[in-house]
């Protein structure tokens, strides 16, 4: 680099010219290329940051789910396990969660139960109700009795979701969930309830 005042050679990092003492103008740092944070599930175009809608096609991005990265791109692992933000109901993959529950011999069910309780409270607009961690702890303390009770009460919340969706509400979901839980079909309960949560999630997007 040469001094703009006298033309003398200046070493990199010098702040003043060694010949004339003129201050050296430091080159502006090159603008960093913004990092791609995801790809639109509809059009496949990359986006930067965390926009609510795709800049290319206008698709909603706030609650997007991983449905296979477009053009062979890799998706964000976090999209497999969305978290409730207290406003929007996350949509979860039933098939993936069932596989993980089987592979982990039921250990993954702890995580799924906590998410299920929180998501169902949010979906039924009863966010002040008992949270997922509390339901799990009470189920342990009561040797599973509270878990059976929660399944029964979950039927009321599913009925609220059904009414919002405009579907027929038989009002017997609590009995169904209770019986399935008593006979050891808790995983089926998880799938049934998650299906209702996913439907209301799709509607509210």
Answer yes or no: do 1 and 72 share one domain: no
Answer yes or no: do 105 and 191 share one domain: yes
Answer yes or no: do 18 and 45 share one domain: no
Answer yes or no: do 140 and 69 share one domain: no
Do the Cβ atoms of 145 and 134 come closer than 8 Å? Answer: no
Do the Cβ atoms of 3 and 20 come closer than 8 Å? Answer: yes
Answer yes or no: do 107 and 189 share one domain: yes
Mean pLDDT of the chain: 82
* The CA-based dihedral angle spanning residues 130, 136, 138, 143, taken in that order and rounded to the nearest 10 degrees: 150
Report which listed range, 36-40, 62-66, 110-114, is most confident: 110-114
- 1/140: higher pLDDT: 140
Answer yes or no: do 23 and 40 share one domain: no
Answer yes or no: do 113 and 176 share one domain: yes
**Chain centroid to CA 157:** 22
Alpha-helical segments (H) within 56-144: 94-103, 108-123, 132-141
Answer yes or no: do 149 and 172 share one domain: yes
Looking at residue 69, its pLDDT comes to 42
Answer yes or no: do 108 and 130 share one domain: yes
- 57/179: higher pLDDT: 179
The pTM for the full model equals 0.60
Confidence check: pLDDT of 64 > 50? no
Answer yes or no: do 136 and 98 share one domain: yes
Answer yes or no: do 136 and 198 share one domain: yes
Question: What's the number of domains the chain is made of?
Answer: 3
- What is the domain extent for residue 155? 89-204
Looking at residue 35, its pLDDT comes to 74
Answer yes or no: do 121 and 143 share one domain: yes
């Amino acid at each position: 680099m040469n001094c703009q005042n006298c033309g003398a050679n200046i070493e990199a990092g010098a702040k003043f010219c060694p010949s004339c003492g003129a201050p050296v103008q430091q080159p502006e740092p090159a603008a960093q290329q913004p990092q791609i944070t995801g790809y639109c599930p509809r059009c496949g175009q990359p986006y930067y940051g965390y926009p609510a809608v795709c800049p290319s096609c206008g698709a909603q991005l706030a609650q997007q789910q991983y449905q296979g990265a477009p053009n062979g791109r890799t998706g964000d692992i976090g999209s497999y396990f969305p978290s409730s933000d207290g406003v929007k109901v996350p949509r979860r993959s039933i098939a993936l969660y069932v596989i993980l529950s089987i592979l982990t011999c039921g250990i993954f069910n702890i995580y799924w139960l906590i998410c299920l309780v929180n998501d169902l409270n949010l979906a039924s607009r009863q966010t002040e109700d008992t949270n997922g961690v509390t339901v799990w702890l009470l189920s342990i303390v009561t040797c599973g009795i509270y878990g059976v009770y929660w399944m029964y009460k979950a039927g009321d919340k599913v009925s609220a979701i059904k009414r919002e969706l405009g579907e027929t509400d038989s009002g017997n979901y609590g009995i169904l969930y209770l019986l399935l839980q008593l006979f050891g079909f808790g995983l089926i309960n998880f799938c049934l309830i998650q299906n209702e949560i996913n439907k209301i999630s799709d509607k509210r997007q």
